[in-house]
């Protein structure tokens, strides 16, 4: 049966908060004063954690690290829209989303020191481990969302990735499957401008990432990723829609990483200093601060207290991380199979000198 040809495609762009901290009240999401304060506190906590983790790596106390800096609104605003029972599938830059989802900070530091135990999701939290291989979490998260639909659980899966991952086959396969089976998933693309050193315009001819959703028969929306209110509003609407069984959504957050791609990168080789300085003016924390100051939700005194409390929490997490006993070497044999094969048993015995 022939289908109707549709040509009137449109990609919506959402911004609630401008750079000066003025909000469009007609677009403002339903958030209480306490919730706005909580969003701000989370963003400050993540920034303090991020700076500390970077410094620990430079001191040789972490193996490597990928900074969140500049992308706090995209991660916290989206993760804040989820219920505890929902799933997240993070890539390597989602420390902010994981902290919002109550993943212990000391465990994140443990992971970045090279200890996989840091990604064990605590009881009652559906946080999938960080995915290093670009894009593989997209079909995996889609599969979990499909399982939720089959089981009629009313559970939503949120899947994070950068714009570089949209050039991978995993992105096509995941979103195509999600569209066909109308799974309860929300895809969060943090478009920070660069796939390592490759600028967005050199990896896709598509004018936006959000419009790619059209090809899969799902909704796509582009938001100001440095505006925590816009990200939260788009994410909350997408989560509610998915929970009601009305299908997935692709959200493109236009943001910018203020740091290097990783602690092994030097972004000054491919990004002009002037560009970074311009984006620093759009810092998501500063933008929210200006809104809160204007609306008497923040003042210099409690701003200082919030920073101090965040620093205390992070320092405590560092102490806890550095007290964790090293893993046992035989652990490498224990968790690959439900029943350890004879060859691995022999290798473990050799290691232990038995």
Kindly give the pairing relationship between strand 185-191 and strand 157-162: parallel
Q: Identify whether residues 68 and 120 lie together within a single domain.
A: yes
DSSP reduced 3-state for 23: strand
Please give the pLDDT value at position 5.
58
Mean pLDDT (whole number) for 115-131: 93
Q: Identify whether residues 149 and 179 lie together within a single domain.
A: yes
Q: Identify whether residues 344 and 256 lie together within a single domain.
A: no
Mean pLDDT (whole number) for 323-345: 89
Within a domain: residue 44?
A: yes
Of the listed ranges 4-8, 18-22, 70-74, 278-282, the one predicted with least confidence: 4-8
Please give the pLDDT value at position 329.
87
pLDDT greater than 60 at residue 66: yes
Please give the pLDDT value at position 275.
95
Burial (CB count <10 Å: 0-12, 13-18, 19+), residue 234: buried
Catalytic residues: 257, 261, 270
pLDDT greater than 80 at residue 6: no
Q: Identify whether residues 219 and 138 lie together within a single domain.
A: yes
Within a domain: residue 2?
A: no
Where residue 51 falls among pLDDT bands split at 50, 70, 90? Answer: very high
Q: What is the CA radius of gyration of the chain?
A: 21
Question: What's the pTM?
Answer: 0.94
Within a domain: residue 105?
A: yes
Residues 6+ apart with CB under 8 A from 216: 175, 176, 178, 179, 250
Taking a C-beta distance cutoff of 8 angstroms, is the pair 298, 32 a contact? Answer: no
- Domain containing 334 equals 330-354
Within a domain: residue 166?
A: yes
Within a domain: residue 6?
A: no
Residue 277: CB atoms within 10 A of its CB come to: 10
Please give the pLDDT value at position 9.
77
Where residue 10 falls among pLDDT bands split at 50, 70, 90? Answer: confident
Q: Identify whether residues 213 and 354 lie together within a single domain.
A: no
Query: Domain with 151 in it: what CATH number?
Result: 3.40.50.970
Within a domain: residue 181?
A: yes
Please give the pLDDT value at position 186.
98
Q: Identify whether residues 335 and 294 lie together within a single domain.
A: no
Please give the pLDDT value at position 165.
96
Within a domain: residue 54?
A: yes
Where residue 4 falls among pLDDT bands split at 50, 70, 90? Answer: low
Mean pLDDT (whole number) for 139-162: 98
Q: Identify whether residues 69 and 130 lie together within a single domain.
A: yes
Q: Identify whether residues 347 and 306 lie together within a single domain.
A: no
Please give the pLDDT value at position 2.
58
Please give the pLDDT value at position 7.
62
Q: Identify whether residues 47 and 181 lie together within a single domain.
A: yes
pLDDT greater than 90 at residue 328: no
pLDDT greater than 90 at residue 330: no
Consecutive H or E run containing 147: helix 137-150
Q: Identify whether residues 258 and 293 lie together within a single domain.
A: yes
Residue 341: CB atoms within 10 A of its CB come to: 11
201-246 pLDDT tens trace? 998 999 999 999 999 999 999 999 999 999 999 999 999 999 999 9
The token duo for 346 is: 């022999």
Domain count along the chain? 2
Q: Identify whether residues 195 and 155 lie together within a single domain.
A: yes
Q: Identify whether residues 342 and 269 lie together within a single domain.
A: no
CA–CA separation, 331 and 311 (whole Å): 34
Within a domain: residue 3?
A: no
191-203 pLDDT tens trace? 999 999 999 999 8
Backbone phi, then psi, for 310, in 5-degree steps?
Answer: -65, -45
Mean residue pLDDT of the chain comes to: 95
The token duo for 270 is: 């491919």
Please give the pLDDT value at position 1.
52
Please give the pLDDT value at position 305.
97
> Hey, which bits of 157-292 come out as E strands?
157-162, 185-191, 194-195, 198-199, 219-224, 249-254
């Amino acid at each position: 049966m022939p289908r109707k040809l549709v040509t009137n495609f449109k990609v919506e762009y959402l911004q609630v908060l401008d750079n000066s901290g003025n909000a469009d009240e007609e677009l403002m999401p339903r958030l209480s004063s306490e919730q706005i304060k909580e969003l701000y506190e989370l963003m400050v906590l993540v920034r303090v954690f991020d700076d500390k983790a970077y410094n620990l790596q430079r001191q040789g106390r972490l193996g490597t690290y990928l900074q969140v800096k500049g992308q706090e609104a995209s991660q916290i605003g989206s993760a804040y829209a989820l219920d505890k029972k929902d799933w997240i599938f993070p890539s390597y830059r989602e420390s902010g989303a994981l902290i919002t989802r109550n993943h212990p900070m000391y465990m994140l530091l443990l992971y970045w020191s090279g200890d996989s135990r840091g990604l064990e999701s605590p009881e009652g939290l559906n946080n999938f481990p960080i995915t290093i291989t670009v894009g593989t979490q997209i079909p995996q998260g889609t599969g979990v969302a499909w399982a939720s639909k089959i089981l009629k659980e009313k559970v939503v899966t949120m899947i994070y990735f950068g714009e570089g991952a949209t050039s991978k086959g995993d992105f096509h396969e995941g979103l195509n499957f999600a569209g066909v089976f109308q799974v309860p998933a929300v895809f969060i693309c943090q478009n920070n401008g660069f796939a390592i050193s490759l600028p967005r315009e050199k990896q896709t001819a598509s004018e936006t990432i959000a419009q790619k959703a059209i090809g899969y028969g799902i909704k796509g929306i582009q938001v100001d990723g440095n505006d925590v209110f816009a990200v939260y509003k788009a994410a909350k609407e997408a989560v509610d829609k998915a929970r009601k069984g009305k299908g997935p959504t692709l959200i493109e957050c236009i943001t910018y990483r203020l740091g290097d791609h990783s602690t092994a990168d030097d972004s000054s080789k491919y990004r002009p200093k002037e560009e970074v300085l311009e984006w620093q003016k759009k810092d998501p924390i500063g933008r929210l601060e200006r809104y809160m100051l204007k609306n008497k939700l923040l003042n210099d005194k409690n701003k200082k207290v919030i920073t101090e409390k965040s620093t205390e929490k992070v320092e405590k997490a560092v102490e806890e991380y550095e007290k964790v006993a090293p893993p046992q070497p035989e652990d490498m044999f224990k968790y690959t199979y439900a029943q350890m094969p004879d060859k691995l048993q022999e290798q473990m015995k050799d290691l232990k000198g038995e």
